[in-house]
Amino acid sequence: MKKIILFALLIISKYCFAQSALQLSGIHIVPVPVSVKIEQGNFILRPDTKIIYSTQELKDVSGLFATMLNKPTGFNLRAMGGKERTISGGIILNIYRKPDTLLGDEGYGLKVLSEKIIISANKPNGIFYGMQSLMQLFPSQIESDTVVRHISWKAACVNITDYPRFKWRGMMVDDSRHFFGMKAIEQFINEMAKYKYNVFHWHLTDDQGWRIQIKGLPKLTETGAWRVPRTGRWGTFEAPQPGEKETYGGYYTQEDIREIVQYAKERFITVLPEIDVPAHCLALIASYPNLSSTRKQYSVWPQYPPDSIDNVLDVANDSTWIALDTIFSQVAKLFPSRYIHVGGDEANRSFWMKDPGDLALMKKEGLTTPAELQSFFEKKLEKLIIAKGKKMIGWDEILEGGLAPEATVMSWRGEQGGIKASQMGHHVIMAPYGSTYLSQIQGNPLAEPPGPGMITLQKCYETNILPEGVDPTFILGGEACLWTEHIPDYRHLEYMAYPRAMALAEVFWSQEDKHNWNSFLIRMQDQLPYLQEAQIKYATSMYDPVISAIKGSDDSMKVVLEAQIPGLDIYYRFDGTDPDNFSPEYTGKPLDIPEGASEIKVITYRCGKPIGKQVNCPLSWLRRRMKKWKKAG
Ligand code: ACM
């Protein structure tokens, strides 16, 4: 309790009165580094600052850094090759001749002195991450897209050593449910890089659209990339009507894909393509109806298709394997990633059980369950993927019926799949839906746009990549997943990603002993001005009031008000008027409902200023939820 009070005081003092030592020193790096030593003084970036790189392999990354600095400063800095010893000042990017084993491939040392900055690493990757940390030491305007004048481009003197906890730090974007396009995907990748993510998992195919050009299968992009347009709330959409035009969608040409892969590579991000099979294949099947067991002509669907629609590939059909070979040959060539993600999730296997060909295949192979037939599919697919020189990743359903010999498992239905796969000696990426699915809403449902579930910022921060029972030697890392059923455009994608992606970045990158929610909260809030400068749309849901109900001893409903983060004041009214800081303040004691009230309106303040959204909560809404919890409990 004492700790909580102390932290609330720190937050209040930081945001209301004096600036804290932390803020004064400007050290608010997310994800938090392994070690930070604050020194006296500042480095000031000037129009004549030199950027010197030690070896040719740093030429591109140094050039990118100069561009990043030139945009907001209006300077004309240029990166040059040279020796550290030959210059007296500037920013020096230096690859160790003799590798520093502690830093590994991605770690770095960042020394900011008043006359120069030195970033050292074993590999260009480390230099790039050192640059990202350095960007966070400059004022937030360093993220501006346009020139900012009359500012001192100061960075506090520090000595930082840093390296990641996990080598797989991914974010997934579902580009099928809604098509985002080149500019958005590049922007997303650029934003990922700031927080040291290194895998962009690109969900390119699903029931609502096929997004990648495959030569020899033209209908995938003529038919599969398009669906009927629907606006409004996912789940309420009308089915495609006879003769209706399919005008909503799009796809990436192979040239586009190469551009994205290159863009990501320059930011030390690997693009992991996902072609989701054997289910979630309606866009593929609508293009080539002979590939499903039912062989029917279906439409690409604007939301989840009904169970009567067969969106699953026919395992026993040779045409399926010819199409898969064509697709994966080209995918393997387009993406330099060692891995290809083949989906494998949520297959409605019932169609196979009605298909004479699939039943005959099961008999021939001695398979007794539909799960075993899927396992047969995955094992055959793995051989195909390995023959293309790649390794296969699948969602954790691929464990059912027997795991393909070399497959890597992405554990999404909780952690059990990952625990089991690791115990079997398979590599695992943790993406449990309960804390890494950023497609879930992040605060009070009355104040959020529609979406499933609820994952608060703190829940993300508490993600445990190494749960009990797991064999840690097989855990590659984790992923944040953005499924886009409820995310129709890029601005909303950003809103769902930030600031929660910062919390997960810290889970994936920072060492376990550095994880500290209170410290993260301060640093995360210091990052928000950087997001503003970069014009990233982030959520402020952590400031919104959380409203719930409990049953009092007399069986009456009582209202409980909370905030997701400490240090906020909560004000409320039951009389229909809008609350402010002159309204009753919530003290922590559950509220009795006054006679005649039908609604509670709540708002949060910090330092005498509104900070969260005002939430108007009908008491009938609370009553319904209380009943549901009671039933569930
Ligand atoms: C999934 O969320 N269906 C992998």
Which domains does the chain possess?
26-162 (3.30.379.10), 168-510 (3.20.20.80), 544-624 (2.60.40)
Residue 437 Cα: closest atom of ligand 1: 2
Prediction pTM value: 0.96
Q: Ligand 1 centre from 493 Cα, in Å?
A: 17
Residue 159 pLDDT level (bands cut at 50, 70, 90): very high
Largest Cα span, the chain: 80
Looking at the DSSP bridge assignments, the partners of residue 275 are none
Please state, in angstroms and rounded to a whole number, the distance separating the CA atoms of residues 102 and 215.
46
What local confidence, expressed as pLDDT, does residue 18 receive?
39
Strands annotated E in 67-186 = 79-81, 90-95, 108-112, 116-121, 154-162, 168-174
Look at the block and give the residue holding tokens 């919530």. 586
DSSP secondary-structure letter at 288?
Answer: -
Residue nearest atom 2 in ligand 1 by C-alpha distance: 412
Site to substitute for ligand 1 among 173, 346, 410, 437, most atoms within 8 A of C-beta: 346
Q: Ligand 1 centre from 280 Cα, in Å?
A: 10
Site to substitute for ligand 1 among 206, 207, 277, 345, most atoms within 8 A of C-beta: 345
Q: Ligand 1 centre from 478 Cα, in Å?
A: 15
Rg of the chain over Cα atoms, rounded to whole angstroms, equals: 27
pLDDT at 130 over 70: yes
Residue nearest atom 3 in ligand 1 by C-alpha distance: 345
Segment 116-125 shows an average pLDDT of 98
Residue 280 Cα: closest atom of ligand 1: 3
Angle between the N-to-C axes of helices 370-387 and 356-365, in degrees from 0 to 180, rounded to the nearest 10: 80
Q: Ligand 1 centre from 207 Cα, in Å?
A: 13
Angle between the N-to-C axes of helices 370-387 and 318-334, in degrees from 0 to 180, rounded to the nearest 10: 40
Segment 147-161 shows an average pLDDT of 96
Q: Ligand 1 centre from 432 Cα, in Å?
A: 10
Angstrom distances, CA of residue 562 to CA of 86, 213, 539, 582: 58, 49, 18, 18
Q: 342-358 burial, b if ≥16 CB within 10 A, otherwise e? A: bbbeebebebbeebeeb
pLDDT at 21 over 50: no
Lowest-pLDDT choice from 286-290, 366-370, 555-559, 582-586: 555-559
Look at the block and give the residue holding tokens 């009092």. 552
Residue 410 Cα: closest atom of ligand 1: 4
In this predicted model, what pLDDT tens digit does every residue of 526-566 receive, in sequence order? 999 999 999 999 999 999 999 999 988 888 899 999 999 99
Q: Ligand 1 centre from 202 Cα, in Å?
A: 13
| Amino acid of residue 267 | R
List pocket residues of ligand 1, CB cut-off 6 Å: 345-346, 395, 412
